[in-house]
Structure 1
Amino acid sequence: MTLPAPASATTTATLGRVEVAKGHGTRNDFVLLDDRDGGFDVSAELVARLCDRRGGVGGDGLIRLVATARVADAPAETRTTAWFMDYRNADGSVAQMCGNGVRVFARYLQRLGLWDPATGELAVGTRAGVRTVRAVGVPVGVSGDAWFAVDMGAVTLPGGPDAVAAGGDAEVAVAGLTVTRPGLGVDVGNPHTVVVLADAEDLERADLTRAPEVTPVPAQGTNVELVVPLGEETAEDGTAVGRVRMRVHERGVGETQSCGTGAVAAAAAVRAWGGAAAPDVWFVEVPGGTLRVTFTLGAAAGGGVGADVTRAELAGPAVLVAEGAVDLGALLA
């Protein structure tokens, strides 16, 4: 079903109401706002109120759909895209990227009749650059009726090989765990610190109601992923596939049921620790479901010999569950 295009956010806001939708990717949930004309004032207070789980709609963040041409601070490389995903954390802070959010954004465009997966890939403008989305089949043994894959771009380890060899480039203290552990920094367009744990019991014991203490803290803060490697299995085509289990504390949000960029970071860190023989395809189990991460070697910007970089594709479900109108007067009272 294709939904009719709602009235512009500017118009509905003038009347004291704004049309929103609600969606999630592996239970990483978002409030979706159609502001394609770019006339809506998205303040930090409004985002926080909309994302409030008791006084608002509830969500881990807000995704504003807006024409890229209407985004004054859009990165230059995104100017070729029609649509921009303006993503805000639940506390109202601006974020560069959200891997689960991009898939839900694509699903939202599809429902609004602004993109048809049958016509080809969707190019999405984000603060981390252009991300392309395509519809893919649901893997065998995994639930869900609509999966999308996102080209997440380059994945880098800021600490380089030395950090991998040392086990990490940060120290992380997690409430509920008795010792401080090494964490490996991973950049997926936004910052992550990945901590490996010995077993599922440690993962369960971790208290993520409080933000883990990371030393040193990256300038923009960091998301923290706690991961337990689950080993490798053989896919139907005979290739090796890795599997990890993960919990995540997202900056500006707290613990979430899933984090797309965090899943990429977790797989990248475990793959790096595993060495050259580690698989290129990983299934990441999160509390909200399962995601698939595939690594490839691609050309870096500018090209040149030795300029290849590791790139990641993130695949998983995207679900829209509700739509409605919010009374802004009541919300902000």
Structure 2
Amino acid sequence: MTIENRDLTSVATAPGTEGTDSQHAADLSFTKGHGTENDFVLLDDRHARMELTAAMVRELTDRRAGIGADGVIRVVPSAALPEGRAVLGQDPDAVWFMDYRNADGSIAQMCGNGVRVFAAYLEDLGLAYFGDGHELVLGTRAGVRRVRKEANGWFAVDMGVWSFPGGEEAVHDGFDAEVSVLGLEPGGAQVPRPALSVDLGNPHTVLALASVADLDRADLTRAPVVVPTPPQGTNVELVVPLGEETSVDGSVVGRVRMRVHERGVGETRSCGTGACAAALAVRAWAGDGAPDVWLVEVPGGTVRVTMLPDGHVELAGPAVLVADGRLRTTPNL
């Protein structure tokens, strides 16, 4: 696949790498991938010679003038970045770092769907091996992440420690924030509704709705208003609990449907950390005896969220590499 675009003017290599075998502006190779239709432009910078600018990210993710994606993920050695070196201090096996940027060019701490696609990309590049039950250890700005590949081809990621920023009081009350969303009220009014904050290395605010009809009616073309507003913004998940069901092995599994507005992106077809936040919030609202495993339905498909005994949460779902391409830019760059 070759994509021609003669307007992307921000592609650049790191200073001092001219004349090397670095990725030159006139011939930028990329891969396009998605996890439950949360899509990414993937860049192989295994030699850490690329300068990934905010303008470059915005142009690459532009759905009309660029490749189009919810974000950009760069493969880079952990040793090449300060955040990566900190991760290596936690686990020296975290050789590769997931440098993730939102579509607006801002740096993001974490992306659950992105981690799975990143793992699939590393496997495709020959930089990761999942045979014989091997586990991949990688670095992110939210810390070390461990990935395993399931027999069905899904990737399962230990998303690490999670928390309710509002503490036990918020869990008891069921909320610690208020969210106003367009389209839910008659006449276009925005009425604040109670919501619960969840932290998964990046911030989330989860709002429960009464019905799927309410979920469908919500207008996420504009960002919901969250009070109090977290300093770095927040992703907002709108969720409808769909009850519980018994799986083939006899265990009880919860099910929830979700839409999400991601900070720096807008509404996306899926959000991995958002799915975890949705399951954790609904489980808290359900109280004692609620399932530890939840299936979260998003517009782009279904993922599985599992509460692990060590206080971590696991996210599992598909990761698809759609195409490889080469970006052509104007020859005078």
Partner of 1:321: 322
Give the distance between the partners of 2:68 and 2:157, measured in 1 at CA.
Answer: 25
Work out which of the residue numbers 122, 126, 140 in structure 2 matches 1:113.
126
Instruction: Give the aligned CA root-mean-square deviation in angstroms.
Output: 1.7
Kindly indicate whether the alpha-carbon contact (under 8 Å) linking 2:23 and 2:49 is maintained by their aligned counterparts in 1: no
Matches within 5 A, 1:231-242: 231-242=243-254
Partner of 2:10: none
Q: TM-score, normalised by structure 2?
A: 0.89
| 1:133-170 CA-partner distances (Å, limit 9, x unpaired) | 000133xxxxxxx2100000011001122112222111
1:75 Cα deviation after fit: 5.7
1:15 Cα deviation after fit: 5.3
Give the distance between the partners of 1:15 and 1:252, measured in 2 at CA.
Answer: 25
| Number of equivalenced pairs | 307
Asked whether 1:192 is paired with 2:204, we answer yes
Give the distance between the partners of 2:82 and 2:53, measured in 1 at CA.
Answer: 16
Matches within 5 A, 1:2-151: 11=21, 13-14=23-24, 16-74=26-84, 76-79=86-89, 80=92, 81-119=94-132, 120-138=134-152, 146-151=153-158
Give the distance between the partners of 2:204 and 2:68, measured in 1 at CA.
Answer: 24
Kindly indicate whether the alpha-carbon contact (under 8 Å) linking 1:93 and 1:252 is maintained by their aligned counterparts in 2: yes
Kindly indicate whether the alpha-carbon contact (under 8 Å) linking 1:78 and 1:129 is maintained by their aligned counterparts in 2: no
Partner of 1:283: 295
Partner of 2:313: 312
Kindly indicate whether the alpha-carbon contact (under 8 Å) linking 1:133 and 1:151 is maintained by their aligned counterparts in 2: yes
1:38 Cα deviation after fit: 1.0
SS of 2:84 mapped into structure 1: coil
| 1:256-283 CA-partner distances (Å, limit 9, x unpaired) | 0000000000000000111121000000
Aligned amino acid, residue 163 of structure 2: T
Give the distance between the partners of 2:226 and 2:60, measured in 1 at CA.
Answer: 29
Matches within 5 A, 1:228-307: 228-298=240-310
Give the distance between the partners of 1:114 and 1:135, measured in 2 at CA.
Answer: 15
User: Unaligned 5+ residue runs, structure 1?
Assistant: 1-7, 139-145, 299-309
Kindly indicate whether the alpha-carbon contact (under 8 Å) linking 1:133 and 1:148 is maintained by their aligned counterparts in 2: yes
Aligned amino acid, residue 225 of structure 2: E
Partner of 1:141: none
1:12 Cα deviation after fit: 5.4
Give the distance between the partners of 2:198 and 2:85, measured in 1 at CA.
Answer: 22
Q: Percent of aligned positions with the same letter in both sequences?
A: 62
Kindly indicate whether the alpha-carbon contact (under 8 Å) linking 1:12 and 1:18 is maintained by their aligned counterparts in 2: no
1:41 Cα deviation after fit: 0.6
Kindly indicate whether the alpha-carbon contact (under 8 Å) linking 1:78 and 1:126 is maintained by their aligned counterparts in 2: no
SS of 1:276 mapped into structure 2: coil
1:177 Cα deviation after fit: 1.2
* Counterparts in 2 of 1:15 and 1:195: CA distance versus 1, 3 Å: closer
Give the distance between the partners of 1:173 and 1:128, measured in 2 at CA.
Answer: 28
Give the distance between the partners of 2:172 and 2:330, measured in 1 at CA.
Answer: 55
User: Unaligned 5+ residue runs, structure 2?
Assistant: 1-12, 186-190
| 1:187-240 CA-partner distances (Å, limit 9, x unpaired) | 011000000000001000000000000000111110000000000001122111
Aligned amino acid, residue 145 of structure 2: R
Kindly indicate whether the alpha-carbon contact (under 8 Å) linking 1:296 and 1:312 is maintained by their aligned counterparts in 2: yes
Partner of 1:304: none
Partner of 2:7: none
Kindly indicate whether the alpha-carbon contact (under 8 Å) linking 2:77 and 2:84 is maintained by their aligned counterparts in 1: no
1:116 Cα deviation after fit: 1.5
Partner of 1:159: 166
* Counterparts in 2 of 1:241 and 1:15: CA distance versus 1, 3 Å: closer
Kindly indicate whether the alpha-carbon contact (under 8 Å) linking 1:209 and 1:254 is maintained by their aligned counterparts in 2: yes
Which consecutive segments of 4 or more residues in structure 1 shift more than 6 A? none
Aligned amino acid, residue 108 of structure 2: A
